[in-house]
Amino acid sequence: MTEAELIAGIKERQRPAFQILVDRYRDQVIKTAFYFLGDMADAEDLSQEIFIEIIQSIYDFRQTSTLKTWIYRITVNKALNMVKQRKRRGIFFRIGSLFHGDNPLNTQDYAEPVIQTDAVEKQETRTMIQKAIDKLPENQRIAFVLSRFDDQPYKEIAGIMNISLPAVESLIFRARQNLQKQLVRSFPEYKSNL
């Protein structure tokens, strides 16, 4: 089924078109959402909302870009909105715990020592890198994630973000510089490589 036929099928509310849409784009939508959210369950839940949004707003799709680019745009926007909601909830939780004296994060006064294994160290490294990526300015983070984790070409990223190709190159360059600066604090042994 061509892209034009798929769009027409979705507009006509044809079940086979819905199934083709999901089959064709589900994995990429979940993958992209995961890189922004860092949680597979949340990414899968959000993918359902994204496909509902696509079906409901297909009439707004002006076809100035490819369907794939438009779907990426929706995915990135919804994932970023979820990240913002999480941050707001986290702030309210912390404020609430100040007033109620609850601090479920520190339920044990004394933790048992943990023997570091390679798997644990790798997970800690991944967590530090993810936190560094999360601290990037929003446009840098979007461009970097789409390039690095989704393997999108710069031209496609420009379409998704609705910016020029040189702007994408600049965002990714600045994102890499900012990540290096942040990660040198955690890994000082790499400072000489900068």
Q: Give the residue, 183 or 92, on which the prediction is more confident.
A: 183
The three-state secondary structure class of 152 is: coil
pLDDT tens string 19-32: 999 999 999 999 99
Q: How far is CA 104 from the centre of its chain?
A: 27
pLDDT at 135: 87
Cβ distance 165 to 155 under 8 Å? Answer: yes
Q: Residue 6 burial (CB < 10 Å; 0-12/13-18/19+)?
A: buried
**pLDDT at residue number 88:** 66
* Cβ-contact 160, 146 below 8 angstroms: yes
Element (H, E) at 81: helix 67-100
pLDDT of 183 above 50: yes
Chain centroid to CA 167? 20
Share of the chain above pLDDT 70, in %: 77
111 has pLDDT over 90: no
**Closest among 174, 176, 170 to 158, alpha carbons compared:** 170
Mean pLDDT over 40-56 rounds to 93
Kindly list the distances between the CA atom of residue 17 and the CA atoms of 1, 2, 5, 14, 24, in Å, as whole numbers in the listed order: 9, 11, 8, 5, 10
What pLDDT is recorded for position 172? 93
pLDDT above 60 (res 56): yes
pLDDT for residue 110 is more than 80: no
Contact 37, 82 (CB under 8 A): yes
